[in-house]
């Protein structure tokens, strides 16, 4: 177990990609602080089965005060913070003229600003411990655009930029910061888009999934949360110590086009 003795905080880890990442880090021996609005009891039970210490904090990642409390509680519970995975995220799909202003503000706050706050607050602890890994869950939408996703694409391009700056500011230390850029992953966030597509085309769920993939993802298959979790475990390993400021896509060929 390569991460024995490390403490990991994974934001938005009660479901989907975040839960798979938290699970994989616990399997590698890390103690984990969970966060998110989903069923945290079942997430905690799932991770505890790996024999690691697991805790939960319900901070709303759009609120800087609650984020500060989350970092403080992680450090007071586990004695430090070694791995930070900025994963919490939401989506809203609409043309820019109809895009609700409050949705824009929420997406920028949760998908981008929260990573600024967690990073600025966690870095002093990583510097003190002389080791750290920051992984930002961006998206293919951190590299390319798509219609009707103005806030999401802006936030994800923003987090790729933030990743590069943090990587440079930590470059002389054993602390790395990288982004991962998934294509479509079948989580609640994407299931909502599948349902919208099914309604718009008057087709069933399976046909809507195929239509969504066909449009963007040449493999025709969803990326699995466990595959992304494997990439995060690699980025946390010593083999990845010189991977710095990367935006690493795992997207079934989406951005190769």
Per CB under 6 A, does 15 bind ligand NAD? Answer: yes
Per CB under 6 A, does 64 bind ligand NAD? Answer: no
Per CB under 6 A, does 71 bind ligand NAD? Answer: no
Minimum distance from CB of 172 to ligand NAD (Å)? 29
Q: What distance in Å separates the CA atoms of residue 224 and residue 135, rounded to the nearest whole number?
A: 18
From residue 186 to residue 225, the character string flagging contacts with ligand NAD as x (rule: CB under 6 A) and all else as - is -xxxx-----------------------------------
In what order do the strands lie in the sheet containing 132-137? 54-57, 31-35, 7-10, 83-86, 132-137, 175-182, 247-250
Chosen residue from 54, 84, 137, 177 binding ligand NAD by CB under 6 A: 137
Give the DSSP letter of residue 224. P
- The number of residues that bind ligand NAD (CB under 6 A) is 29
Give the distance, in angstroms, between the CA of residue 98 and the centroid of all CA atoms in the same chain. 27
From residue 18 to residue 37, the character string flagging contacts with ligand NAD as x (rule: CB under 6 A) and all else as - is x----------------xxx
**Piece in contact with ligand NAD (CB under 6 A), picked from 11-19, 70-78, 160-168, 208-216:** 11-19
**Piece in contact with ligand NAD (CB under 6 A), picked from 56-64, 68-76, 205-213, 233-241:** 56-64
Minimum distance from CB of 4 to ligand NAD (Å)? 26
Chosen residue from 74, 118, 119, 139 binding ligand NAD by CB under 6 A: 139
Classified as helix, coil or strand, 114 is helix
The pairs formed by 22-26 with CB atoms below 8 angstroms and a separation of 24 or more are: 22/47, 22/85, 23/47, 23/50, 23/229, 24/226, 24/229, 24/230, 24/232, 24/233, 25/83, 25/85, 25/229, 25/232, 25/233, 25/236, 26/50, 26/52, 26/54
Work out whether the CA dihedral 149, 150, 155, 156 comes out positive or negative: positive
Q: Annotated catalytic sites, by residue? A: 152
Residues that bind ligand NAD (CB under 6 A): 12-18, 35-38, 60-62, 87-90, 110-111, 137, 139, 182, 184-185, 187-190
């Amino acid at each position: 177990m390569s991460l024995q003795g490390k403490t990991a905080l994974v934001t938005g880890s009660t479901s989907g990609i975040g839960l798979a990442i938290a699970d994989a880090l616990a399997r590698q021996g890390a103690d984990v602080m969970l966060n998110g609005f989903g069923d945290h009891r079942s997430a905690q039970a799932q991770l505890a089965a790996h024999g690691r210490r697991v805790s939960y904090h319900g901070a709303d990642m759009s609120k800087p005060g609650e984020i500060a409390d989350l970092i403080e509680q992680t450090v007071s519970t586990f004695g430090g913070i070694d791995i930070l995975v900025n994963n919490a995220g939401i989506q809203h799909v609409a043309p820019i003229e109809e895009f609700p202003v409050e949705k824009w503000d929420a997406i920028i706050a949760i998908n981008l600003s929260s990573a600024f706050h967690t990073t600025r607050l966690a870095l002093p602890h990583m510097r003190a411990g002389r080791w750290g890994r920051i992984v930002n869950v961006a998206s293919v939408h951190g590299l390319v655009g798509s219609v009707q996703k103005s806030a999401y694409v802006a936030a994800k391009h923003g987090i790729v930029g933030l990743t590069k700056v943090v990587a440079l500011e930590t470059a002389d230390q054993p602390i790395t910061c990288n982004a991962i850029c998934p294509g479509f992953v079948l989580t609640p966030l994407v299931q909502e888009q599948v349902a919208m597509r099914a309604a718009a085309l008057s087709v069933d769920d399976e046909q809507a999934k195929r239509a969504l993939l066909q449009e963007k993802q040449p493999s025709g298959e969803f990326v699995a949360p466990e595959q992304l979790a494997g990439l995060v475990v690699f980025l946390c390993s010593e083999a990845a110590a010189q991977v710095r400021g990367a935006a690493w896509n795992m997207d079934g060929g989406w951005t190769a086009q």
